[in-house]
Amino acid sequence: MAPQNIKTAGPAEAAEQGVPTLSVVVPMFNEEEVLPILFERLEQILESLGESYEIVCVNDGSTDRTAELLRAAHCRNNRIKVLNFSRNFGKEVALTAGLDMTSGKAVVPIDADLQDPPELIEAFLQKWREGFDVVYGVRRHRDTDTAMKRWSALKFYKVINRLSGVPIPANTGDFRLMDRRVVKAVGELREQNRFMKGLFAWVGFRHAEIPYDRPERVAGKTKFNYWRLWNFALDGITGFSTVPLRIAGYIGMLTALAAVIYGVFLILRTLIHGVDVPGYASLMVAVLLIGGLQLVVLGIIGEYLGRLYEEARKRPLYVVESSLGIALEEEVSR
């Protein structure tokens, strides 16, 4: 049977099944080394909270034993629910799918590598009970990252917060607690190129922050290289700001103005001094400069046009191959 695009059961069905207080969402890709440690630590902490819970694991097309280990975990604890993608769709989409599948009153996305310490969930819940809709963790430092990654992250947050009308907290990841109504609002945003930190910030609501120290991965290797981080940053900027298009327009106007001024200068010089055959070098510099600027501007426009093309196709965000413990039904593509 062909895999279908899916959605969760409706609110009435969820009420019949019993709604947990807390849903934890764990996107993962090739995490076989860390899974035993993750579940041992996460389940112990969730049990100690004394709240009903579910753990929604999204297997983003893993090629190792991740699916097998998730199946075993579900058989051992039916509160561990599993969604297996038909292929790798990327972390942002996997996180979206996990949020789609939750039913808890509060939802906490967390990384499988345990760099997001699950011990912080108790503090998140306390802030949530005080009335905050979103409680996010803020890294005190980034000592576990390379110097290049720390520098690029610092510059990225500065750039995007200057360009975007929606402030995105620096040194925050996806690790946060969200009230059900926040999750519902984020679920209404179905754009193809997803920058979840920006979407979380865009929906607003009352928020609080909790600083924490981010440890190193307990096992395995990061799946993010610098090329993927660059594309991730590009998605964030183009998804939340049209300022690059405006800058491209300004560059075009300034270049045209400079060309007009230079043209007037050439005409006056020719009238005064006559035809000056030498000038090949200056001509080539002008042509190459203007041509280069045109290509840059076309490239910026192309980035936005490509995203419009992605949205116009209206493909589903993800395709599910199988699931464990999650009630699914067919859904018309949105």
Q: Integer distance in angstroms from the first to the last C-alpha of the chain? A: 22
Cα gap 110→115, rounded to integer Å = 9
CA–CA gap between residue 180 and residue 169 (Å, rounded) = 21
Q: Does 58 score more than 90 pLDDT?
A: yes
Residue 8 is given by DSSP the state: P
pLDDT, tens digit, 9 for 90 and up, residues 284-332: 567 767 776 777 777 777 777 777 767 777 778 888 888 888 877 543 3
Encoded tokens for 222: 């990061």
Tell me the C-alpha distance between 319 and 334, whole Å: 13
Is pLDDT above 50 for 155?
Answer: yes
Q: Are 171 and 153 in contact (CB under 8 A)?
A: yes
pLDDT in tens, 159-180: 665 666 677 777 777 888 999 9
Give the three-state DSSP class for 28. strand
Residue 250 buriedness (CB in 10 A; 0-12 / 13-18 / 19+): exposed
| pTM for this entry | 0.67
Does the pLDDT value for residue 123 go beyond 70? yes
Which is the CATH superfamily of the domain at 6-225+315-330?
Spore Coat Polysaccharide Biosynthesis Protein SpsA; Chain A (3.90.550.10)
Backbone phi and psi for residue 109, each to the nearest 5 degrees, phi listed first: -75, 140
pLDDT: which is higher, 66 or 225: 66
